[in-house]
Structure 1
Amino acid sequence: MSPFLLTRTLPEDATDAALRSDVLHGLTRTPKELPPKWFYDTRGSELFEEITRLPEYYPTRAEREILAARAPEIAAASGARTLVELGSGSSEKTRYLLDALPELHSYVPVDVSESALVGAAEALLAERPTLHVHALIADFTRGLALPGTPGPRLVAFLGGTIGNLLPAERGVFLRSVRSLLSPGDSLLLGTDLVKDEDVLVRAYDDAAGVTAEFNKNVLAVIARELDADVDPADFDHVARWDRGNEWIEMRLRARHAVTVKIPELDLVVPFEAGEEMRTEVSAKFRQEGVRKELADADMELTRWWTDEAGRFALSLAGPR
């Protein structure tokens, strides 16, 4: 069987330190906010998988439709011998690309979760015993060094996750990706597209209340990891469309006056009745906007694919 390598570029205590920092800074600023990465503990990941199967939540199905139909074109355009996937998770959708890349030598999944990387690698190697897998435990938003694998390389960032970054953060991220690309390498980017407001809001506020539970899970994470005195039942889930910025915002709204106590941070945080805390931004894109953001990062958009309904896009870009 081909070798499986696991490299850690995050310190063992990096996650704990980052959580403490994000909670301290997020809950003491005005307005209050927490980054969406803290949704994804074991329970949060289970809830998100459930969300992807909901009738209202189209992005996962739309992106999978494109990959199923266009993976051979993506493979031919990239000619990749190494596939790098940022935020790889279970690597489920990646299989379309792995199957379509006849000359693929190496797969480099990148994620903060060691358990997700190991589980996905074991499943992939059971199916593809000749594949070389070099997994990286890393935070790709804070710079990344890739292992020495054969080129050309295809760096995939799927799921529309780039929409969780604010515009300035996207610029920094895309420039960091550009720094990884050599001539002949390419970036495969998944972006959710601007569409009818009702469709967008329903995707983030489903009738079954799964997204509401997912949103509130960030409070459960804080309670467990930081021994915070906070009850998710004191907050309501809110999803709204910001027309000016063309993004969905998820928020938690205090049902009544609430005081959150976090002794580990020596922090007492009052919420007024009706006060909202932002927990996620999910930007939606247009082709011309994606092209411009890539160009600003010294990359050129070369291919653009959408699902049949035009809800989601995959784009291929290379260094200028």
Structure 2
Amino acid sequence: MSPFRITRTLPEDASRAALRADVVAGLADRPRSLPPRWFYDARGSELFDRITRLPEYYPTRAEAEILTDRAGEIARASGARTLVELGSGSSEKTHHLLDAMPDLALYVPVDVSESALRGAGRELSGRRPELDVHAVVADFTGRLELPEGPGPRLVAFLGGTIGNLEPAERERFLRSVRELLSPGDALLLGTDLVKDERVLVRAYDDAAGVTAEFNRNVLRVVNRELSADFRPELFDHVAVWDPAAEWIEMRLRSREAQTVKIPTVDLVVDLAEGEEVRTEVSAKFRPERVREELGAVGMEVTHWWTDREGRFALSLGVVR
């Protein structure tokens, strides 16, 4: 059995407190918004898993293709002895990378879900019995404290999740990652690339309506956790491309004028007919933008890998 430890840096009630704060900040303001992290309760995670297998949704397949084809190159380029994965979930997408790193001494999966981390630990104990696994229950958007491990250290942030952060948030996040690293350490960053608007919109507005159901699920989370009385069926799913910001926005549009009560946070939300709540931005990138944003925090892009159709990229940003 592989050594497995788990450290919790989040208080037990941190998730509920964060949800309350996000709901008050986002729904009491205009334009109204809810952060995408609240999609992912058990039902939301199941729906997102279905999304990743839809014909319109290419990012998961494209990134998996790169990891399958280039894991050996990534391992050699990084020379990593410690691998840290932010937002690891089940760690399924990193198996190709882990398999390409026979000399890896320590794997540090970081996620807000302790159950997901424990499941990943059980899986890895069978695949890599010699590998030391030290899981950390933490929110990667906050200040991170990671266990000591041999260098070089590689931090992996996959799935295009960086695109859910707006520019100022991205800079803060990238600076926080840079603070964890020493010269010679690196960040492996997954970014979805700018492409035809029709391809992008279809990826977030599939014909089967799975993404629409996923989007409305955030209202069910608020109902359950904060005793709200949203009626999800009264909201239409909207996905639009913003060419200036170069991101997709997902929104929920109220079909009629309605009043929503959220008693746990003492909030009443009056929505006009057609009023929208933004639930996600998903930025798309060009190579020069990735190089510029990593360069601004002291990392140099030394390697760039894409899938065969050039839809998605993994970049290696090395600390100099």
Which band: TM-score by shorter chain?
Answer: over 0.9
After the TM superposition, which parts of structure 1 deviate over 3 Å for at least 4 consecutive aligned residues? Answer: none
Identify the residue that residue 269 of structure 2 maps to in structure 1. Answer: 269
Identify the residue that residue 126 of structure 1 maps to in structure 2. Answer: 126
Note the 1:1-320 alignment, pairs <5 A: 1-320=1-320
- Residue type of the alignment partner of 2:146: L
- 2:253/2:276 contact within 8 Å kept: yes
Instruction: Return the alpha-carbon distance in structure 2 between the equivalents of residues 31 and 241 of structure 1.
Output: 17
Tell me the TM-score normalized by structure 2: 0.99
Instruction: Return the alpha-carbon distance in structure 2 between the equivalents of residues 120 and 47 of structure 1.
Output: 20
Instruction: Return the alpha-carbon distance in structure 2 between the equivalents of residues 180 and 147 of structure 1.
Output: 11
Instruction: Return the alpha-carbon distance in structure 2 between the equivalents of residues 5 and 314 of structure 1.
Output: 29
Instruction: Return the alpha-carbon distance in structure 2 between the equivalents of residues 286 and 111 of structure 1.
Output: 28
- Offset at 1:150? 1.2
SS in 2 for 1:179: helix
- Identical counterparts, % of pairs: 73
- Offset at 1:181? 0.8
Instruction: Return the alpha-carbon distance in structure 2 between the equivalents of residues 317 and 268 of structure 1.
Output: 45
Instruction: Return the alpha-carbon distance in structure 1 between the equivalents of residues 229 and 311 of structure 2.
Output: 41
Unaligned runs of 5+ in 2: none
- Offset at 1:264? 1.1
Instruction: Return the alpha-carbon distance in structure 1 between the equivalents of residues 130 and 103 of structure 2.
Output: 12
- 2:2/2:124 contact within 8 Å kept: no
- Offset at 1:311? 0.2
SS in 1 for 2:151: coil
Count of residue correspondences: 320
- Offset at 1:2? 2.7
Instruction: Return the alpha-carbon distance in structure 1 between the equivalents of residues 256 and 183 of structure 2.
Output: 56
Instruction: Return the alpha-carbon distance in structure 2 between the equivalents of residues 21 and 97 of structure 1.
Output: 37
Tell me the TM-score normalized by structure 1: 0.99
CA deviation map 1:86-144 (0-9, x unaligned): 00011111001100012101110000001111111111112211111100000111111
- Residue type of the alignment partner of 1:227: S
CA deviation map 1:247-284 (0-9, x unaligned): 00000000001111011111110100000010000000
Instruction: Return the alpha-carbon distance in structure 1 between the equivalents of residues 117 and 262 of structure 2.
Output: 32
Instruction: Return the alpha-carbon distance in structure 1 between the equivalents of residues 228 and 138 of structure 2.
Output: 27
- Offset at 1:225? 0.5
Instruction: Return the alpha-carbon distance in structure 2 between the equivalents of residues 132 and 43 of structure 1.
Output: 31
SS in 2 for 1:240: strand
Instruction: Return the alpha-carbon distance in structure 1 between the equivalents of residues 218 and 127 of structure 2.
Output: 35
Instruction: Return the alpha-carbon distance in structure 2 between the equivalents of residues 298 and 161 of structure 1.
Output: 21
Instruction: Return the alpha-carbon distance in structure 2 between the equivalents of residues 177 and 279 of structure 1.
Output: 25
Instruction: Return the alpha-carbon distance in structure 2 between the equivalents of residues 263 and 191 of structure 1.
Output: 39
Instruction: Return the alpha-carbon distance in structure 1 between the equivalents of residues 219 and 233 of structure 2.
Output: 10
Unaligned runs of 5+ in 1: none
SS in 2 for 1:29: coil
- Residue type of the alignment partner of 2:72: P
- Residue type of the alignment partner of 2:128: R
SS in 2 for 1:149: coil
